[in-house]
Amino acid sequence: MDAIHKIIEEINNQAKDNRDRFEAEEIAAIDSWFLAEEQAATKTHRQQQDKQLKDLQQKYKQLRSRQQMDVRQESLVEKQRYLDRLFEEAYTKMATWDKEEIQGFAEVNLKRLPIAELGVLLPSGPNATMALDASFVAEVQKELAYQLTLGEPLTAGGEGFVVDVAGVQYNFLYRDLLNEQRSLTGNEMSQKLFG
């Protein structure tokens, strides 16, 4: 019987060794699988975090850029409003010139006109119409190289005057002169005023 016990014990030992080896192999395989899954999950998590961080950085850059653009736009609008007020104040000042100032402005500009034909002076606005009358035309005519006559006052256009030479009009309406000046020097003025 001893031999049978020994055989049974040996079979049991062999089976136990097989079970222990199988259990150790399975535990090692499970540990290896778990480690690989954990590493893959960690890698995926890091990739997602990196992607989310890049997305947040991109959104931040876009929002910052948009905010800077809005600030620049608001600043430009404010500068434009300031220039509008400046030119409106200049027009108001010109439109309320007294007779001497209006006549002085007209005389300087009439002398500069490069014309040889008959010119017709067309005052515009109540102040210019009052200042640029027949006596003014007669007085300034003495210093002009061309013939100038007084025409009918303009009913629209604001303060100033126009000189008509055979259908070609030289515009000295104050608002138009200021608008032209603004279009020519507006950027330069902005640079000087706002740096």
Q: Assess whether pLDDT exceeds 90 at residue 96.
A: yes
Residue 16 or residue 122, greater confidence:
122
Q: Note the pLDDT of residue 1.
A: 65
Residue 77 belongs to some domain of the structure: no
Is the pLDDT at 11 greater than 90? The verdict is no
For 19-31, the pLDDT digits (tens) are: 888 888 888 888 8
Domain-embedded: residue 78? no
Token output for 171? 């515009």
The reply to whether 82 falls in a domain is no
- Is 34's pLDDT higher than 90? no
Domain that holds residue 167: 96-194
Please indicate, yes or no, if residue 76 is contained in any of the structural domains: no
In this structure, the answer to whether residues 63 and 100 fall within a common structural domain is no
Lowest-confidence pick of 65-74, 75-84, 140-149: 75-84
pLDDT value at 161 more than 80: yes
Model pLDDT, residue 69 = 92
**Mean pLDDT of all residues in 137-160:** 93
Is residue 86 a part of any domain in this protein? no
Same domain, 105 and 186: yes
Q: Residue 79: exposed, middle, or buried by beta-carbon count in 10 A (0-12, 13-18, 19+)?
A: middle
Claim to verify: residue 162 and residue 111 sit in the same structural domain: yes
Per the prediction, the chain carries an average pLDDT of 90
Distance CA 148, CA 128 (A): 16
pLDDT of residue 124: 95
Same-domain pairing of 48 and 4 = yes
Angle between helix axes 174-194 and 2-95 (nearest 10 degrees) is 140
* Rounded percentage of the chain residues whose pLDDT exceeds 90: 56
How many domains does the chain fold into? 2
pLDDT over 80 at 189, yes or no: no
pLDDT of residue 135: 96
39 CB-side CA count, 13 A:
6
In the predicted model, is pLDDT for residue 88 greater than 70?
yes
**121, burial (CB in 10 Å: exposed 0-12, middle 13-18, buried 19+):** buried
Helices (H), 96-157: 99-112, 126-131, 134-141
- pTM over the 0.75 mark: no
Residues 117 and 49 in one domain: no
